[in-house]
Amino acid sequence: MKRNVDILVLSDLHLGTFGCKARELNRYLASVEPGMVILNGDIFDMWNFKKRYFPETHMRVVKQIIRFSERVPVYYITGNHDEALRRYAEFSMGNLHLVNQLELRIDGKRYWFFHGDIFDASMSYAKWLAKLGGWSYDMLIATNNVVNSVLQAFGQPRMSFSKRIKNSVKKAVKYISDFEETAAEVGIEKGFDYVVCGHIHQPQQRTVKVGSESIEYMNSGDWIENLSALEFEQGEWNLYTYDAEEFAEQEIIDRWSALLRRVPA
């Protein structure tokens, strides 16, 4: 049975890369019935996109998003990895809207949704280095997947050295740029009650105080390692994290389906 969610916020899917956990994302998307969807940047990874790599599971994610747009509003906010779309901002097709940022009023509160790369020092001052880092990280994810396949074959637990490296890099960027504090400060200056970002792949939901004022800061995380989303239902925000046990039965079905597809007719 699907869960009703008033607003669903996703970011940093990085479709078209080895790191995207599209299989898990498909299971999650199939389990919810949102009243609005906000895609907060880096949905497609155009920096590391390869024509030869866009598997069926990635296409299924796209199809699920399109199906959502047939029933409810879907806002696609551009990020740095899909920045090529920024020139087409304000384009709409039915319920699907392409924007660079989004302002909404929800339950009387003012919200500012944007990807957040404008506050990242590595984007502002060394874009070429950020792109190189993205490519290197994608290769690291691919290597990690091979290592985990071998570990699982020998009955050993999975490991994620890529996450450890990624987190250390992002923490360094956050320390230099004070990403969350800057987003909060700008949000307060603009008179918002909530500021909602993606980009740094760190799911978060907290109150940030700046002097005598405060603002609610939220980050929807990513679907590479944290597998997280923001859900708004019955007047409350919750940070969702994918639970493999919740979808254990569906995983078995997916594996059998994949095996059957490989059997010659």
Distance, CA of 251 to CA of 243 (rounded, Å): 12
Which residues, 6+ apart, have CB-to-CB distance to 239 below 8 Å?
Answer: 203, 204, 205, 218, 221, 228, 229, 230, 231
State percent of the chain over pLDDT 70.
73
User: What per-residue confidence (pLDDT) applies to 66?
Assistant: 97
- Determine contact, residues 3/221, Cβ cutoff 8 Å: no
Residue 141 has pLDDT above 70, yes or no: no
- Residue 166 has a pLDDT of 55
Higher pLDDT, 69 or 147: 69
- Global pTM? 0.79
Give per-residue pLDDT as tens, 226-241.
999 999 999 999 999 9
Over 50: is that where the pLDDT of 130 sits? no
What is the arithmetic mean of pLDDT over 139-147?
58
pLDDT beyond 90 at 119: no
Q: Where are any strands of DSSP class E within the chain?
A: 3-5, 7-10, 32-34, 37-40, 74-77, 91-93, 96-99, 102-106, 109-113, 194-197, 204-210, 213-219, 228-233, 236-241
Between the CA of residue 226 and those of 38, 146, 162, 200, 236, what are the distances in Å?
Answer: 18, 19, 12, 11, 21
User: Which has the closest alpha carbon to 106: 73, 70, 65, 76?
Assistant: 73
Domains of the chain: 3-116+193-262 (3.60.21.10)
Q: How confident is the model at residue 52 (pLDDT cuts 50, 70, 90)?
A: confident
CA atoms of 208 and 197, how far apart (whole Å): 14
The two three-digit tokens of residue 203, written as one number: 């799911």
Please give the pLDDT value at position 165.
54
Q: pLDDT tens digits for 238-251?
A: 999 999 888 887 77
Cα angle, residue 241 at apex, residues 235 and 246 outer, rounded to 5°: 105
How many percent of the chain have pLDDT more than 90?
58
Looking up tokens 């007047």 gives 235
Beta bridge partners of 249: none
Residue 15: its H or E element: none
Model pLDDT, residue 131: 43
